[in-house]
Structure 1
Amino acid sequence: MESIFSHIEAPPGTRLSDVIAEQIERRIVEGELRPGDALPAERELARQLSVSRPSLREALLKLEARDLLELRRNSGYTVAEVTAPSLTDPLLHLMEGHAKALGDVLELRQGLETMAAGLAAMRAEPADIERMREAAEATERAHEAGDAITAANWDARFHLAVAEATHNVALAHVMRGMFSVMRENVRRAREALFTREDAEHTLREQHRALADAIAAHDPEAAVRAAEAHLGFIREGIEWLQR
């Protein structure tokens, strides 16, 4: 696999560790490194960057202090998950007992995800499209196996993959930060929708239509596909609110 890192030469008067940290941070911002991704082992990463291990270690510690990296026992440094528990935890609690909160979250999703669909259609790369299709297929497999929780998780990951395909770091981070809320929103909607015989087939076709429109780099078709999909989900949410 080709390295995403490039050799570093620090300009005079610049700390080498700062330049190293800047390159790693840039890879995170540009989406080349995603939450949960593991960095190469320290020795290998120092080789790829052509830097000393003490300078690299200093850079990694700086990024860890800024909550961009986390050190996991026996697995080295990984890109930190961007979450917002102070926002998501109360929403999760509200959705447990109030159907209106489900609808409110869906309204937020409609704004974010229709925008994401259009941007993804303009900017998605082959790897982005592959992640979408893999998530859609995993959703289908989990549903066929009767595992509703795993199906909802992969369904939410499909929508996160669309957001990441925008290569808009702000939008992707917002969607990652509300992932637990989105996953619960998806689970509850799927639970309601599957009282209909055609629901699974419809959801499957809608995911495929959205991925196909993004792969075709057709923003208008992608937005239409996202709107149709979220409109169908709204039917499930409204059924719960009755």
Structure 2
Amino acid sequence: MSPIFSSIEAPPGSRLSDVIAEQIERRIVDGCLHPGDALPAERELARQLQVSRPSLREALLKLEARHILEVRRNAGYTVAEVTAPSLTDPLLHLMCGHRKAVGDVLELRQGLETLAATLAAMRAEAGDIERMTEALEATERAHRAGDVSTAADWDARFHLAVAEASHNVALAHVMRGMFSVMRENVRRAREALFAHADAEPVLATQHRDLVAAIRAHDPEAAVRAAETHLRYIREGIDALDS
């Protein structure tokens, strides 16, 4: 894979460390780097940027102070998660005891995921389609193996892959920040739906219809596919309540 960083030179009157920090931030905003991604080792990153290691180290420390980067053991500098768990932890607690909270999360997902579907259909690249397809296939394998937890995890990762294919860094970060809630929401939805024997093939078809619409760069079809999928899930949960 080609380097994502390019050589830089500070304009007159600018600190080199500020220009370095700006390029790293730009790569995050552009979606080239995602939360949890590790930066190249310091020596390699300095080589790609064609800067001195003291200037690079100063830039990295600035980004760490802004909570854009964090240092992980055995991984060096990585892109930080910018959304805190303080929102998602209470939601998880509510979902464990109140079915209405499950429906409320579905309503939130409908807004976020129809937007993600629209933007993904406009902007998705080959790598994005590949990641969606891999998540779908992993979901189906886990279901066939009877591994409900892993199937739910990959199902949620599929929806996250759609959000990342939007190439909207704010949307992708929000979806990443609520991943644990989305995974629990998916688990409970699948639990409700699988009271019906035909649920899994229906879900698989709906997922694949969404990928097909995104691959065809058809935003309207992508929104219809996302809405059909989320409506099916909502109806399954509502049926369990009745």
Q: Do they fold alike, i.e. is TM over 0.5?
A: yes
Q: Could you say which residue in structure 2 is the equivalent of 1:35?
A: 35
**Residue 112 of structure 1: how far off its partner (Å):** 1.0
**Residue 141 of structure 1: how far off its partner (Å):** 1.4
Mind listing any 5+ residue stretches in structure 1 that lack a counterpart? none
Q: How many residues align?
A: 242
**2:86 alignment partner AA:** S
* Aligned: 1:236 with 2:236: yes
Q: Give distance in 2, aligned partners of 1:48 and 1:116.
A: 33
Q: Could you say which residue in structure 2 is the equivalent of 1:93?
A: 93
Q: Deviations over 1:145-181 (max 9, x none)?
A: 2211111111111111111111112211111111111
Q: Give distance in 1, aligned partners of 2:166 and 2:37.
A: 19
Q: Could you say which residue in structure 1 is the equivalent of 2:124?
A: 124
**Residue 47 of structure 1: how far off its partner (Å):** 0.2
**Contact 1:82–1:176 (8 Å) recurs in 2:** no
* Aligned: 1:203 with 2:195: no
**Residue 74 of structure 1: how far off its partner (Å):** 1.5
**Residue 241 of structure 1: how far off its partner (Å):** 2.9
* Aligned: 1:11 with 2:39: no
Q: Deviations over 1:187-237 (max 9, x none)?
A: 100011111111111111111110110011001110110011101111222
Q: Could you say which residue in structure 2 is the equivalent of 1:163?
A: 163
* Aligned: 1:150 with 2:150: yes
Q: Give distance in 1, aligned partners of 2:63 and 2:74.
A: 19
**Contact 1:38–1:77 (8 Å) recurs in 2:** yes
Q: Give distance in 2, aligned partners of 1:211 and 1:84.
A: 30
How high is the sequence identity, in percent, across the aligned residues? 82
**Contact 1:121–1:222 (8 Å) recurs in 2:** yes
**Contact 1:99–1:240 (8 Å) recurs in 2:** no
**Contact 1:70–1:79 (8 Å) recurs in 2:** yes
Q: Secondary structure at the match of 1:12?
A: coil
Q: Could you say which residue in structure 1 is the equivalent of 2:176?
A: 176
Q: Secondary structure at the match of 2:23?
A: helix
Q: Secondary structure at the match of 1:62?
A: helix
**Residue 57 of structure 1: how far off its partner (Å):** 1.0
Give the TM-score normalised by the residue count of structure 2: 0.97
**Residue 48 of structure 1: how far off its partner (Å):** 0.4
Q: Give distance in 2, aligned partners of 1:148 and 1:78.
A: 31
- The runs of 4+ residues in structure 1 deviating greater than 4 Å are none
**Residue 130 of structure 1: how far off its partner (Å):** 1.1
Q: Secondary structure at the match of 2:190?
A: helix
**2:85 alignment partner AA:** P
Q: Give distance in 2, aligned partners of 1:222 and 1:5.
A: 33
Give the TM-score normalised by the residue count of structure 1: 0.97
Once the two structures are overlaid, the 10-residue window that deviates more, 232-241 or 113-122, is 232-241
Q: Give distance in 2, aligned partners of 1:117 and 1:212.
A: 11
Q: Give distance in 2, aligned partners of 1:16 and 1:148.
A: 51
Q: In angstroms, what is the RMSD of aligned CA positions?
A: 1.1
**Contact 1:6–1:49 (8 Å) recurs in 2:** yes
Mind listing any 5+ residue stretches in structure 2 that lack a counterpart? none
Q: Deviations over 1:73-107 (max 9, x none)?
A: 11111111233322111111110000000001101
**1:212 alignment partner AA:** A
Q: Give distance in 2, aligned partners of 1:94 and 1:62.
A: 38
Q: Give distance in 2, aligned partners of 1:156 and 1:43.
A: 36
Q: Judging changes above 3 Å, is the alpha-carbon distance between structure 1 residues 141 and 82 closer, same or farther for their aligned structure 2 residues?
A: farther
Q: Give distance in 2, aligned partners of 1:83 and 1:11.
A: 33
**Contact 1:84–1:178 (8 Å) recurs in 2:** no
User: 1:55-74 counterparts in 2 under 5 A?
Assistant: 55-74=55-74
**Contact 1:142–1:150 (8 Å) recurs in 2:** yes
